[in-house]
Amino acid sequence: MHAITIPEPGGPEALVWAPVPDPVPGEGEVLVEVVAGAVNRADLLQRQGFYDPPPGASPYPGLECSGRIAAIGPGVSGWAVGDEVCALLSGGGYAEKVAVPAGQLLPVPAGVGLKTAAALPEVVCTVWSNVFMVSQLRPGETLLVHGGASGIGTMAIQLAKAVGARVAVTAGSPEKLQYCGELGADFLINYREQDFVEEIREVTAGAGADVILDIMGAKYLDRNVKALATNGRLAIIGMQGGTKAELDIATLLRKRGAVTATSLRGRPASEKAAIVAAVREHVWPLIDTGRVRPIVDREVPMRDAAAGHRVLEESSHIGKVLLVTGE
């Protein structure tokens, strides 16, 4: 088979489509013939040499894919060769085949094309685990999403609205904010022109956001704490704005606030399986009925994964960028 390899860390040109050995499914795994993968920020970090795969994971980038089951490993039940699936991965999605723990498989939802399904696993599992399983967003509460037009952001808007929450988003252009509004976001904040702390206080009558989903990390830490409501929960899932910042404990104490930081890739398979099972139970029915849908900006050939990486680096996209193997 072929896969995107990274002989040396670097820019998008470091991604090389090359022949590699076929993976073999082990105990509890299935082999998926990949139809599409998706580009995530973690892939850019891996390409640059800053985010190695977990021990035992595929060395190739790619944290999600869609395709068809080509082989079943020992100890797997409930799946059959030929099933159309999408999968949460620890790596290996930028390839023509990938071995996947069966607990990280999901059926392709009704009404979603096989290629498009590659846009779902990573964002849905990230949003559901952080916003709902950890931060416990409830109906009537306010969620603030940074990067509302991203793959994560577009999914967070839809899921929060589906459970009856109010949603505020930040984005850097009128076009992106308009799209977020069309998805259901209630409050639109242009971070280039507005102070999101002031804006979120204004639209919540001074209360603040009950839950904040943050991709920026250090750069936004102080302002995120200020923007929290009493008993608010800040979920940090990215570090685009750096990794080190001072935290005003006094403000956090006064608000009885909570700060959590999670990553999905390095979790044990059992934890990933639990998240995937929760997603299948709670989110898949929403997708099956069309209340929630994957947002895909564009598709590029997988062999030209560099082009997909450039799109993310330019932040010119809305939703997800897919890498397709040729179908």
What confidence tens digit (pLDDT) does each residue in 216-243 have? 999 999 999 999 999 999 999 999 999 9
Give the HSE-up count for residue 285: Cα atoms under 13 Å, Cβ half-sphere.
Answer: 6
Give the HSE-up count for residue 204: Cα atoms under 13 Å, Cβ half-sphere.
Answer: 26
Confidence of residue 184 (pLDDT cuts 50, 70, 90): very high
**149 pLDDT higher than 80:** yes
**Cα(240)–Cα(219) distance, integer angstroms:** 8
- Section 90-96 average pLDDT: 98
Asked if 143 contacts 209 with a C-beta cutoff of 8 angstroms, the reply is yes
The two three-digit tokens of residue 258, written as one number: 């909570």
What confidence tens digit (pLDDT) does each residue in 291-315 have? 999 999 999 999 999 999 999 999 9
**10 pLDDT higher than 60:** yes
**164 pLDDT higher than 70:** yes
Residue 133 backbone class (left: φ over 0; alpha: ψ -120 to 50; beta: rest): alpha
DSSP bridge pairs for 322: 38, 299
- Section 95-119 average pLDDT: 98
pTM check: above 0.85: yes
Confidence of residue 326 (pLDDT cuts 50, 70, 90): confident
Share of the chain above pLDDT 90, in %: 98
Q: Compute φ and ψ for 215, nearest 5 degrees.
A: -105, -5
Average pLDDT in the chain: 97
**327 pLDDT higher than 60:** no
Q: What is residue 218's predicted lDDT score, i.e. its pLDDT?
A: 92
